[in-house]
Structure 1
Amino acid sequence: MKIWTSEHTFNHPWETVVQAAWRKYPNPINTAVIGTDVVEREVINGVLHSHRLVSSQWYFPSWVQKIIGTPKVCHASERSTVDTNERQMTLKTTNVTFGSFLSVDEVLQYAPHPTDPSKTLLRQQATVSVEGVPLSRYMEEALTNNISFNASRGRLGLEWVINKINTEVKEIATTADDLLMQTKKSIDGITDTARKSMDELSASKQKIHF
Structure 2
Amino acid sequence: MKIWTTEHIFSHPWETVVQAVWQKYPNPMNPAVVGVDVVDRRVTKGVLKTHRLISTKWGLPSSVTKVLGADRMFYASEHSVVDPVKKSMILMSKNITFCKEVSIVEKMTYSPHPSKEDCTIVKQKAEVTIHGIPLSSYLEGFITGKISVNSSKGKQGMEWVITKINKDVQELTSKTVKSMDDLVHLSGEPLTNFSFRK
Q: Please tell me the TM-score bracket, short chain as reference.
A: over 0.9
For residues 89 and 39 of structure 1, the distance between their equivalents in structure 2, rounded to whole angstroms, comes to 18
Q: Which moved more, 1:101-110 or 1:113-122?
A: 113-122
Letter in 2 for 1:186: L
Report the CA distance between 1:60 and its aligned residue: 1.7
Q: What's the TM-score once normalised by structure 2's chain length? A: 0.93
State the distance in 2 between where 1:80 and 1:128 align: 20
State the Cα RMSD in Å. Answer: 1.1
2:87 corresponding residue in structure 1: 87
Tell me which residue corresponds to 2:55.
Answer: 55
Query: Greater helix share, 1 or 2?
Result: 1
Q: Which residue of 2 aligns with 1:143?
A: 143
Q: Aligned AA for 1:77? A: S
How far apart in 2 are the matches of 1:25 and 1:69? Answer: 28
The CA deviation string for residues 30-68 of structure 1, in whole angstroms up to 9 with x for no partner, is 111111111111111211111011111112233212211
Equivalent in the alignment of 1:36: 36
Q: Secondary structure at the match of 1:35?
A: strand
In structure 2, C-alpha distance between the alignment counterparts of 1:185 and 1:153, rounded to whole Å: 48
Partner of residue 97, structure 2: 97
Number of the residue aligned with 1:172: 172
Q: Which amino acid aligns with 1:56?
A: T
Q: Which amino acid aligns with 1:29?
A: M
Q: What is the CA–CA distance in structure 2 between the aligned matches of 1:69 and 1:178, rounded to whole Å?
A: 59
Q: 2:29·2:153 contact (CA, 8 Å) conserved in 1?
A: yes
Aligned partner of 1:199 in structure 2 is none
Distance 1:22 1:7 in 2: 20
Name the stretch that deviates more: 112-121 or 66-75.
66-75
Measure how far apart 1:117 and its partner are.
3.4
Q: What amino acid does structure 2 have at the position aligned with 1:86?
A: K
SS at 1:99 equivalent: coil
Match of 2:27 in 1: 27
Counterpart amino acid of 1:162?
I
Contact 2:65/2:72 (CA < 8 Å) preserved in 1? no
Give the aligned partner of residue 186 of structure 1: 186
Which ranges of 4 or more aligned residues in structure 1 deviate by more than 4 Å? none
Q: Distance in 2 between matches of 1:145 and 1:30?
A: 15
Q: Counterparts of 2:31 and 2:39 in 1: how far apart (Å)?
A: 22
SS in 2 for 1:153: helix
Equivalent in the alignment of 1:125? 125
| CA displacement at 1:70 relative to structure 2 | 4.2
Structure 1 residue 136: Cα displacement: 0.6
Among all aligned residue pairs of Structure 1 and Structure 2, give the percentage whose two residues are the same amino acid. Answer: 47
Other-structure match for 1:205: none
SS of the residue 2:166 aligns to: helix
Which segment drifts farther, 62-71 or 3-12?
A: 62-71
What is aligned with 1:77? 77
What TM-score do the two structures reach when normalised by structure 1? 0.87
The answer to whether residue 96 in structure 2 is matched with residue 114 in structure 1 is no
Once the two structures are superposed, what CA deviation does each residue of 1:147-198 show, in whole Å capped at 9, x if it has no partner? 0000000010011000000000000011011111111110128xxxxxxxxx
Contact 2:93 2:106 in 1 (8 A): yes
Q: Read off the aligned partner of 1:8 and give its amino acid letter.
A: H
SS of match in other structure, 2:188? helix
Measure how far apart 1:94 and its partner are.
Answer: 0.1
